[in-house]
């Protein structure tokens, strides 16, 4: 099944579905191997992996270059965190064309202003996009996609910016009417209160996606009972690798030896397995000449 069709099936599933974050090819492959049916290409984690801030410091083409590695590495669909769409409706149109080319199945755009700031940094100080302008981006994306299964997720930042429930509902209705395939309602509270009050009022006309980073101690069933369709574990591959790398770096530095860490880290053979080195070995048998190095003839000829 096409990856975009797989993603649409996740949105339309009768059960709750989950995406885990990935930020490069190897993390995408690990997410897939763990059993996940989809990947969240997190803006926070991709920017962190590049050593820059989540403020559009990485350009959109740099983000897409990373997304292409994720897409090549995984056979499960990717929902890309496309921030605000990197400009106006016209930038969104070009973005959608490029995402389809690299087989990224779905895009999430948020109703803030470029350059964005991560929702967990000074959220209340963050301006929201004009509703009509943001609806124009959604419509432009839906009109541009060639693959009917490409999905647009519209992310509502009203709770993050402190504008409250009625603003969140107003935006949800507008974005749904503009053609969004799903709505992502974001909250920075340590409880699911924003999400639960939203779900009580929302008529469930299209799937709702959440990111429980801050309300992580909420039982998943509570979100399911409220009607949530898709849950994004948004940054946990990046955060777990930071912890592992910090531990390994300090230990090697302190001990001036590899002895202490060797048993704690993946063997080199595991890197090769994740890179699918075995496939190349097989291909070499098929395509390389049986005897002699291929470049010898070239050197004689020149």
- Interacting residues with ligand SPV (CB under 6 A): 42-44, 81, 118-119, 211, 213, 234-235
C-beta of 25 vs 43, nearer to ligand SPV: 43
Out of Mg ion, ligand SPV, none, what residue 207 binds, judged by CB under 5 to 8 A for its kind, is: none
234 binds, among ligand SPV, Mg ion, none (CB under 5 to 8 A by kind): ligand SPV
Alpha-carbon gap, residue 252 to 239, rounded angstroms: 20
Size of the site for Mg ion (CB under 5 A): 3
Q: How far is the CB of 235 from Mg ion (least distance, A)?
A: 9
CB of residue 152 vs Mg ion: minimum separation in angstroms? Answer: 16
Minimum CB separation of residue 96 from ligand SPV in Å reads 19
Query: Which residues ranging from 8 to 47 are in contact with Mg ion (CB under 5 A)?
Result: 43-44
Give which of ligand SPV, Mg ion, none residue 213 binds (C-beta under 5 to 8 Å, depending on kind): ligand SPV
Rg of the chain (C-alpha set)? 22
> Bridge partners of 208?
183
- In whole angstroms, the minimum distance from the beta carbon of 208 to ligand SPV comes to 15
Active site residue 225: no
81 binds Mg ion (CB under 5 A): yes
- Measured from the CB atom, is 118 or 248 closer to ligand SPV? 118
- Looking only at residues 40 through 79 of this chain, which bind Mg ion when binding is defined by CB under 5 A? 43-44
- Taking the complex as a whole, the smallest distance from the CB of residue 160 to ligand SPV amounts, in Å, to 8
| CB nearer ligand SPV, residue 115 or residue 260 | 115
Which residues participate in catalysis according to the annotation? 54
Q: Residues interacting with Mg ion, by CB under 5 A?
A: 43-44, 81
């Amino acid at each position: 099944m096409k990856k975009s069709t797989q993603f649409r099936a996740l949105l339309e599933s009768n059960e709750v579905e989950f995406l885990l974050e990935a930020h490069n090819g190897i993390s995408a492959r690990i997410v897939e191997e763990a059993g996940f049916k989809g990947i969240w290409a997190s803006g926070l984690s991709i920017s962190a992996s590049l050593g820059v801030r989540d403020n559009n410091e990485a350009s959109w083409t740099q983000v897409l270059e990373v997304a292409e590695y994720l897409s090549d590495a995984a056979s499960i669909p990717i929902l890309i965190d496309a921030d605000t769409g990197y400009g106006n409706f016209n930038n969104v149109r070009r973005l959608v064309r490029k995402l389809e080319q690299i087989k990224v199945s779905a895009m999430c755009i948020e109703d803030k202003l470029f350059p964005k700031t991560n929702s967990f940094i000074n959220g209340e100080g963050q301006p929201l996009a004009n509703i009509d302008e943001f609806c124009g981006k959604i419509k432009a994306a839906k009109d541009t996609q060639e693959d009917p299964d490409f999905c647009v997720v519209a992310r509502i930042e009203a709770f993050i910016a402190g504008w409250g429930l009625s603003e969140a509902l107003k935006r949800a209705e507008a974005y749904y009417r503009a053609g969004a395939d799903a709505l992502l309602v974001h909250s920075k509270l340590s409880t699911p209160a924003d999400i639960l009050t939203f779900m009580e009022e929302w008529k469930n006309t299209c799937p709702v996606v959440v990111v429980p980073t801050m309300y992580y101690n909420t039982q998943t069933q509570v979100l399911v009972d409220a009607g949530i369709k898709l849950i994004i574990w948004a940054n946990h591959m990046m955060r777990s690798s930071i912890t592992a790398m910090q531990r390994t770096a300090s230990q090697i530095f302190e001990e001036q030896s590899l002895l202490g860490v060797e048993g704690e880290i993946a063997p080199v053979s595991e890197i090769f397995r994740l890179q699918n080195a075995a496939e190349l070995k097989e291909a070499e048998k098929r395509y390389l000449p049986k005897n002699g190095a291929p470049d010898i003839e070239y050197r004689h000829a020149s």
